[in-house]
Amino acid sequence: MALALPDFPWDRLVPFRERAAQHPDGVVDLAVGSPVDPTPELVRRALAEATDAPAYPQTSGTPELRQAIADWYGRRRGVSLEPRNTLPTIGSKELVAMLPTLLGVGAGDVVVHPTRAYPTYEVGARIAGATPVAADDPDEWPTGTRLVWLNSPRNPDGQVLDVAFLRRAVARAREIGAVIANDECYAELNWADDRPAPSILDPEVIGDSRRLTLSVYSLSKQSNLAGYRAAFVAGCGDLIAELLEVRKHAGLIPPLPVQRAMTAALSPEGDADVAAQKERYRARRATLLPALARAGFRIDESTAGLYLWATRGEDSWASVDRLAGLGIVVAPGAFYGEAGREHVRIALTAADERIAAAAARLEASSNP
């Protein structure tokens, strides 16, 4: 029996991509947040040096990797962890899609996700046979909820949840006996502060207990490792042990060369590469944001992450069509729930020359 999953949304963009490709100066694809800048040399060197890997790697990750993850949380997020509180994954989308199943969530259970959300939170609930519910207010999370997804900084709109909200959310999840997981993969790309966005594992959020609480993180964005499928989950030791046991049975193991590369990326030496990449995105944002404003778009939220959340007060598909006529491809907010139907998500993941081309086209459209 086939799973009752929604249509894969990106297929609906094909005709708009085809139209945009007809622009005489070529297409500028700002629809998908896939990095285009080089993977840091430090990381590539670690990968190359680990390619002689004939034996099966550890599902738990090498001791060096688990320690590097714990050290990174302490250094960059103000969170104290032991290696047993960490676990590498094969990218973060795999974990988002499979976490309900790995936790034994199923029919009759509820999985809560944000009202504007990356579609995989809902998909993961449906794969497990659970009921997805979109709700941002913790007071609206129903009893019977087994898993709550937060996403801060949020895809698609760049909203950052503050410590006070995270504290309230964790308290409510514990009250109803639900696991709460925050997808934090854009934390380093915080435009309102030089510091990363708050983690759900911050002691000001969870107090002295990590019970039922998980932080999910990816190196795709901060270190240009999307092609490596390099991510991890950290938090409650009991939950990490439970996930590890199931993943051992399922053979969900990041390749050893990738584990070595992750260890390098998470080292103190890797922090400089992350800072340099953030500045590349900051410059692209500074180029694109005013051009969008002059072309009649209002930018909402967008205080962190790889995207600008823009609206002209019209249906998102009308904005997609309008921009395709300029040779620019963006994602309709409708992909991310009913709450996004009048917005478009515009990625900063294009080469500087393509970002400049998009800005020039937007400027020309505002001055016909």
**pLDDT (tens digit per residue) in 119-161:** 999 999 999 999 999 999 999 999 999 999 999 999 999 999 9
Closest to 231 measured CA to CA, from 210, 217, 242, 249? 217
8 A C-beta contact, residue 149 and residue 97: no
Question: What is the C-alpha separation between 58 and 70, in angstroms, rounded?
Answer: 17
| Angle subtended at Cα 54 by Cα 48 and Cα 59, rounded to the nearest 5 degrees | 90
| Angle subtended at Cα 147 by Cα 130 and Cα 246, rounded to the nearest 5 degrees | 80
Q: What pLDDT, in 10s, does the model give residues 298-328?
A: 999 999 999 999 999 999 999 999 999 999 9
Where do the domains of the chain lie, and which CATH numbers do they carry? 9-38+272-366 (3.90.1150.10), 50-270 (3.40.640.10)
The pTM (predicted TM-score) of the whole model is 0.95
Q: In sequence order, which residues have a C-beta less than 8 Å from that of residue 195 and are 6 or more positions away?
A: none
Q: Provide φ and ψ at 44, rounded to 5°.
A: -60, -40
Q: What pLDDT, in 10s, does the model give residues 253-280?
A: 999 999 999 999 999 999 999 999 999 9
Q: Region 93-99: what's the mean pLDDT?
A: 97
| Encoded tokens for 104 | 């034994």
Question: What is the C-alpha separation between 316 and 353, in angstroms, rounded?
Answer: 26
- Cα 265 → chain centroid: 17
Q: Within 10 Å of residue 342's Cβ, how many Cβ atoms?
A: 18
Closest to 117 measured CA to CA, from 142, 134, 99, 139? 134
Question: What is the C-alpha separation between 120 and 346, in angstroms, rounded?
Answer: 19
Residue 1 has pLDDT above 80, yes or no: no
